[in-house]
Structure 1
């Protein structure tokens, strides 16, 4: 048996052409993103909701500043989480510890009804836990592939689909329950599935072989059975074994090559700041736009159409994800039953909540679309288009990394141009309006297409360009760029009221149109230089 993928023998079994271990990570990350995006969807809405609506009644600017610091810090702590994993805990232990801290964080936020301090303790635990979790699970994905080509790019795109499946379900369910039932119920629900994700990963981690173990368990390790490239299988037959590739050190690159590749990572990280600075308006100013400036009340035929559309929008992706779950069970249930039970239980619960929510919505005669609902469009479009983009990246039409970044930035700018156009009828200084929902829908579509060109591709390039001993650290550095972007996104968004009062909503969204498109053009101009500095990495 030839080992095509990193990890154990069980990881050579495939799901959709990729190693089974990728889908262990897929579902672990899915539930972590469920918890993160579910809580994020509620954060600003909860803070600005009136005391009568069980919110805190904060001003928009103050709520968006807290949002800025929270979403920023969850991306700066990964640099420390990556270092800790590289030097002390290993990737796998860091993931488990981080997931446990985030579970406690969501539980603490659910207790905000008793005292405000629980809310801030919860945010702190989420920030620390995310730092241990986020860079290290991405690092393991990269080590599942023994080659550095298109297959790894496709693997990261599939992994990114898992991220957005979790975001989709988290925003949909936590958002609905938080807005319709109670904020603390929405916060608490986010923690339940983080707990299931932790259990699933913990009990299935054996599939990764020696990938992600503590550094002291890797130093000097050489499996004498595999030096010759052959071992015996369980029946005594001789099989070709590539697990030695995990144990031997990578070939050393010249300092010039290493330096050039680190420069490429730095340049790509810099341009992601422009992307996420604009994109992360989704949880801030775009959520406020959805809540206060969009016509969300549906009556008559429009209400029925939305109910049917929302049902299909919810059920079809969940059925697809459940189908992937079943395929994974076929490959892993025998070897990792406890992980399978934990994952299976989480899906039983999620189906129950989805059916309850849809039945409840159908009973409403004139439903109001929750402001948080629009956030699921991004995740839905990811789930719908990720397989297509994955195929394109594996085909002869696959563009270079810098060109992908440029396309993504330009598509993002087009999405904001649509919002800017749709806001032209809003009077200068208006606090409310009734703009058609179609503008938000189209904006999320273009933002998503842009995201597919940037985020999974960026993760893949970090894993391919970074020296082996610095992979965790470089993923941390990559997320520092996200920290800067998220912080700037919230700070910029906090000026929505003064900008709208003086210049209008159209001008506010025009800012996020011009800057990303300009950055995309610059990236196109840098394409050849960056390709040269990659020294053969594609």
Structure 2
């Protein structure tokens, strides 16, 4: 593969920073849209919204985010077999930009067809996401030769791009949408996507050479063809059992965590006192909190694991801890609903939400050894793609479960009581699941048969792990060899 020789920046190929920018602006587009989607759906028609009920809005949001995790399976196959990664990124980016602009079409331009235009926009976003999302991270790895010590550092930089885009987007898009019009917010998200595409079209040839041009499927088929018909060994069966067991618990974790863009977004909008002096904080701004906390706490968590050395918890124990931290986050949401006292007109303190997001983020950071990286370590080579697809399905299902749970919120004073029941139910489920995970963690490690690996003494490698968890959740984790 021809790697471009155009010099380095900060010790890395300049192509890395092109991919960094491309991904950052794409994440800006996606997270900006996601931050305002549910708020737009439930807003009154006379205020520029679509007038959905909360239950319908959350159900649609769950279906949309579920498809966001499923379509990369199709998009990745198309890129590997037909389009190549670069062409997939361009086509996907254009479709996503068109989707954002469709959502941003003023209602008076499409009077009588607002809902149809909205669904066209969502459909374009889902299809474009499928082509764009799975391909950028593989190109990051292709910038480096096998064994290049800079490769892990490159992914650390790349993951920072994801979190910068996720943190920045709700602040910009949310402010425009809530202070001006919803449609302007979607247009702003679309502009971010256009910037991403223009960067690739303008600088791709110079800084990426022919990386990502040729579909990669034939090489992969040749390397695994001889292993296709071999029966599974006992060790492989044990490792596959671990993937499925962890998959059940990952559904529970993300079903709670993903209340952020749905139910907790509505709670911030309708039941939270967002006034700071004379300024009202846009509800969508709270969607930035998770990414900001990741940037702040990832280095701290990485240092803690390194200092623990051989006493560092195993992956299943970290997962158990993550579930407990998720539950603690929902205890703060229980506190918020208790402050309401069953009266939906009472506004609660912003501190409740911020503390909930803090503990949810700490839980997410405990998942760094899990997710896609775990699947790549445990899955037999000849079943890696299938099991990766199943893992994506677990995450997709979690998003739909999250929406189903949140849809019981109801309206009026009933909503205040229902919120208490929902948050309590999630907290109890998470704690019980965490206890079960802790109790079976030893057996799961045994079934991994050494894939758990050695603990590293490198803070840099640990930091890359902590930042990778966000990317892994989104399906853009690096390919482990």
**TM-score w.r.t. length of structure 2:** 0.79
Q: Decide which of 296, 299, 302 is 1:384's aligned counterpart.
A: 296
Offset of 1:435 from its aligned partner? 0.8
Give the corresponding residue for 2:261: 283
| Equivalence map 1:126-275=2 (5 Å) | 126-141=125-140, 158-202=157-201, 203-204=203-204, 212-215=212-215, 219=219, 255-256=232-233, 258-275=236-253
What is the RMSD computed on CA atoms of the aligned residues? Answer: 3.6
CA distance in 1, matches of 2:154, 2:436: 28
CA pair 274-262 structure 1, distance change in 2 beyond 3 A:
same
Corresponding residue number in structure 1 for 2:461: none
CA–CA separation in structure 1 for the residues paired with 2:238 and 2:16 = 30
| Corresponding position of 1:490 | 403
* Alignment counterpart, residue 448 of structure 1, candidates 361, 367, 370: 361
- Please state if 1:526 is matched with 2:447: no
8 Å CA contact retained: 1:158, 1:390: no
Offset, 1:101: 1.2
Contact 1:292–1:433, Cα closer than 8 Å, also in 2: no
Of 415, 421, 424, 2:329 maps to 415
In the superposition, relative to structure 1, how do residues 274 and 12 fare at CA in structure 2: closer, same or farther (>3 Å)? farther
Give the stretch that moved more between structures: 438-447 or 153-162. 153-162
Mind listing any 5+ residue stretches in structure 1 that lack a counterpart? 1-5, 222-246, 300-365
Deviation at 1:463, TM superposition (A): 4.0
Q: Does 1:477 align with 2:455?
A: no
The equivalent of 1:64 in structure 2 is: 58
For the residue of structure 2 that corresponds to 1:288, the secondary structure is helix
TM-score w.r.t. the length of structure 1 is: 0.72
Q: What is the CA deviation profile of residues 218-247 of structure 1, one whole-angstrom value per residue up to 9, with x for unaligned ones?
A: 6499xxxxxxxxxxxxxxxxxxxxxxxxx9
Tell me what 1:304 maps to: none
| Range with bigger deviation, 108-117 or 284-293 | 108-117
Q: 2:213, 2:41 → 1: CA distance?
A: 41
Shift of 1:398: 4.8
What secondary structure, in the 3-state scheme, does the structure 2 residue paired with 1:424 have?
A: helix
Residues 86, 473 of structure 1: 8 Å contact kept: no
Q: Matches of 2:393 and 2:185 in 1, distance apart? A: 28
- Report what 2:456 is aligned to: none
**Which residue does the alignment assign to 2:46?**
52
Match of 2:3 among 3, 8, 16: 8
**1:282-325 deviations in Å (ceiling 9; x for gaps):** 111111111111111232xxxxxxxxxxxxxxxxxxxxxxxxxx
Cα distance change, pair 183–94 in 1 and its aligned pair in 2 (3 A): same
Q: Which moved more, 1:385-394 or 1:479-488?
A: 385-394
Q: Is the 8 A contact 1:296 1:369 kept in 2?
A: yes
Which runs of no fewer than 5 residues in structure 2 stay unpaired? 454-481
The structure with more radius of gyration:
1
Cα deviation, residue 64, structure 1: 1.3
Change (3 A) 1:393 1:218: farther
